[in-house]
Structure formats: structure tokens, C-alpha cells
Amino acid sequence: MLLPLLLVLMGIHVASSDAVGNDRFGRLDTGVSGCRLTQAERSMGCQRLQLSQTSSIGLRIRFSGLSEEDPGRTHQLTFVTGPGTGDPVLSCQNGRCRLAASSWSGTITSSSLVVFDQRGLPIGLPSNRPTTGACSINERRLNCESQTRDGLQRSAEARL
């Protein structure tokens, strides 16, 4: 009895999301300069930034880079934010996005670090953790600073 109701509600939700337009959904993947990520006082360079917007209330921010210590390995530090303040971060059309925000800040809800080998396979499990902190965009600079409940500090910054 609940399954048909659930399917109807899901259909209405999907239809209403599509009717609003897809300007809220998409991803920006770009090379960046001046990019560094840090975990527990260990700093690494990064070359790519991916911003994924799946709704009007959150953003996934992923910093990626080649390992300076282990050739062939890459690392990804990801922050997930809740609702932000300021301009919308991305302006998207058909899933393709461009940076729209000149200033923005959002509260971080979780962070994750994962390392990949030269074949692109993960080395171990991602270290996903509930996190407190904030990400912000000011003067074409993206900065994220966070701390997990057990005190692990993670941060990243890049020029856009």
C-alpha cells in the first residue's frame, strides 16, 4: 500500500525538480593554481578542483592532485557543505556549469580523503568523517577549513 504512494511522491518530486529547470544541478571541473590541501599538518599540492551542485542547498567541493612523495598516486580531499550565504556558487545549463559567485560561504558537514594508485584504484577506504568548519569564496580564492570530532584538521585553498 505504501509503495504506490511512495512511487507517486517520487514521481512528483522528480517532475517538480525537472520543471524548475536544471540550472541548479551540474558540475564544474577545472584546473587551478596556488592549490594546497592539508591534513593533520601534512601539506600537499593539488592541480584540479571540482564543484558539484546537486541542489540549491549544498555543494561538494573536491580538490585533487598528484602525490609529491609517491609518484603515480593521486589524492582527493572532498568537503560537503550545507546551505551557503552570498551569491549562488555555480550557474549551470544542462549540467555544465561556470563559476557565478564573487563571494560565498557555506558550512561544512563532512570531509573525506582518499588516495589512488597509478591505475586509479583506491588505496584503502576513504576516510569519511563528520566535520565542522566552513568554505568560502572571496576575491577569486576558495578556502575550506575543517575539524573532525576527534580533532583532525583538514584544509584546502585554491585560486580560481
Q: Helix/strand/coil (H, E, C) string of 97-157? A: EEECCCEEEEEEEEEEEEEECCCCCECCCCCCEEEEEEEEEECCEEEEEEEECCCCEEEEE
pLDDT tens per residue across span 26-59? 899 999 999 999 998 889 999 999 999 877 678 9
Domain boundaries, the chain: 23-159
* CB contact at 8 A, 127 and 154: no
DSSP notation for 23-39: TT-EEEEEE-EEEEEEE
Q: Is the per-residue pLDDT at 72 higher than 60?
A: yes
More confident of the two residues 76 and 96:
76
At residue 88, the 3 state secondary structure works out as coil
pLDDT tens per residue across span 9-29? 333 333 334 434 557 788 999
* CB contact at 8 A, 104 and 86: yes
**Residue of 138, 145, 143 whose CA lies nearest to 157:** 143
The highest-level CATH class for domain 23-159 is mainly beta
Average the pLDDT over each of 50-59, 99-108, 110-119, 145-154 and give the range with the smallest value: 50-59
**Residue of 153, 150, 143 whose CA lies nearest to 61:** 143
Which three cell numbers, joined as nine digits, stand for 25? 544541478
Order of strands across the sheet that contains 129-138:
42-45, 33-39, 153-159, 141-148, 129-138, 103-116, 74-86, 58-66, 48-55, 26-31, 95-99, 90-93
